[in-house]
A and B are shown apart, each in its own frame.
Chain A
Amino acid sequence: MSSGRDPGLQPERTRLAWRRTLLTVTVVTALAVRLASTGDPTGALIAGVIVLVWGALLVLCWPRGTGTGPARTGGRTLPLATVGTVALALLGVLLVIRGLW
Chain B
Amino acid sequence: MWKTIRRWFDPAESGSVGERPDYRFSLANERTFLAWLRTGLALVGGGLAAAQFLPPLPMSHLREVIAVALLLLGAAVAIRAVDHWARTERAIRLGRELPASRFPAILALAVGAGAVLLVVAVLLRAIGGR
Taking Cβ atoms with an 8 Å cutoff, the residues of A that contact B are 6, 8, 10-11, 13-14, 17-18, 20-21, 24-25, 27-28, 31-32, 34-35, 70-71, 73-74, 76, 78-79, 81-82, 85-86, 88-90, 92-93, 95-97, 99-100
Are B38 and A20 in contact (CB-based, < 8 A)? yes
Are A85 and B24 in contact (CB-based, < 8 A)? no
Asked whether A24 and B38 contact (CB < 8 A) given A13-B31, A74-B89, A82-B78, the answer is yes
Report A77 CB to chain B, min CB distance, Å: 9
Chain A residues with CB below 8 A from B49, complex form: 31
Asked whether A100 and B64 contact (CB < 8 A) given A17-B35, A74-B12, A93-B71, the answer is yes
Report B118 CB to chain A, min CB distance, Å: 19
Size category, B interface? 35 or more
State in angstroms the CA–CA spacing of A93 and B69 once bound together.
Answer: 9
Report B60 CB to chain A, min CB distance, Å: 10
Which of A73, A79, A82 meets B23, CB within 8 Å? A73
Are B71 and A82 in contact (CB-based, < 8 A)? no
Which of A14, A32, A79 meets B9, CB within 8 Å? A79
Chain B residues with CB below 8 A from A70, complex form: 23
Closest to A16 in B: B31
State in angstroms the CA–CA spacing of A25 and B89 once bound together.
Answer: 25
